[in-house]
Amino acid sequence: GPVDVLVNNAGVARMELELTGDGLERTMATNHLGHFIITTRLLPRLAETGGRIINVSSEGHRRGDLRRASLRDIFRGRIDYNGFQAYCDSKLANVLFTRELDRRLSERGVTSVALHPGVLSTRIWNKDTNWQLLLARLFKPFMGSPEIGGDAVFRLVAEPRFAALSGVYFKVREKVPAAEQADDEAL
């Protein structure tokens, strides 16, 4: 049947290079390519209802740099690997995808937005034993609760005043400009 809302919210942060069975860098595959695949497969159903797509991204997208090498090399982990950079790149890809969905689908009534839900005390920080994530775990008591992120998503789903907004980026509860690379149509 029709799909009214799709919230893409899978995420990992792998500090060591890992490849999927298809030879893709795991962070990009999980955080972006998975969203891309499910969204494109559900587009006909979303178009039936003038549906809404919410791509959960991160303020980390501002540190993403998808111009530093070919996208093929970035997506396959063929460059000097840095887990933090891979995470930021995947989150920039989320915002770029949101903008491209807006360009291609707004006339069909499908809207898309990207959202940074806040720095939240979730299990993403527990998945690796790398020193950066071990350090981040020390700050979990000072991070927001997962409910803050859930509320930010819910507002974009349920409040009518957000229904017509498309191609924009939200930082928790506020619409803010995205990183400069997020407007690069060539990317």
For residues 130 and 134, what is the distance between their CA atoms, to the nearest angstrom? 6
The catalytically annotated residue of 87, 97, 169, 170 is: 87
* pLDDT tens-place string over residues 65-123: 999 999 999 999 999 999 989 999 999 999 999 999 999 998 889 999 999 886 555 65
d(CA 110, CA 163): 10
**pLDDT bracket for residue 24 (50, 70, 90):** very high
Q: How far is CA 134 from the centre of its chain?
A: 23
Query: What pLDDT does 142 receive?
Result: 61
**Pairing status of strand 52-56 against strand 111-116:** parallel
Q: Is 169 a catalytic residue?
A: no
pLDDT surpasses 90 at 128: no
Helix (H) or strand (E) holding 172: none
